[in-house]
Amino acid sequence: MEASTINFYEKVYELILRLKGNFLWPAMWGKAFYDDDPMNAKIADEYGVVIGTSHHEPMGRAHDEWRRYGKGKWNYDTNSVVLKEYWTEGLSVLVLTKVLLQLVCVAMAMNR
């Protein structure tokens, strides 16, 4: 079972709810929660599980997505136009999926 697809995460959502929880920060290193399987967030929303992202995944974009789709350096001082576009695309995905239970981080880690 691939650890970034809905087959995996659905089991995690069920476990979280059985443990009386409702929040998940998905794996980030080498994974992209929203990009790897578009159903991940939709099903989390149906289960009532809130998905959060950290300063490594600003605006709903996973750390690994920059490697996949980013252009230029991960540096706001020198690449702010591209980064804003990249983050806008990430937020657009969240809006288009109509997923309500999201915690979106606006901070940016500088370690890429």
Q: Using the predicted structure, report yes or no on whether residue 2 has a pLDDT greater than 70.
A: no
For the chain, state the CA radius of gyration. Answer: 14
Mean pLDDT of the chain: 87
Helix runs in 2-97, H state only: 6-18, 33-36, 39-47, 63-69, 76-96
18-49: pLDDT as tens digits: 999 999 988 777 888 888 888 898 899 999 99
The pLDDT confidence band at residue 6, using thresholds 50, 70 and 90, is confident
Kindly give, in sequence order, each residue whose CB lies less than 8 Å from that of residue 95, ignoring residues fewer than 6 positions away. Answer: none
Q: Would the pTM of this model clear 0.75, i.e. be above it? A: yes
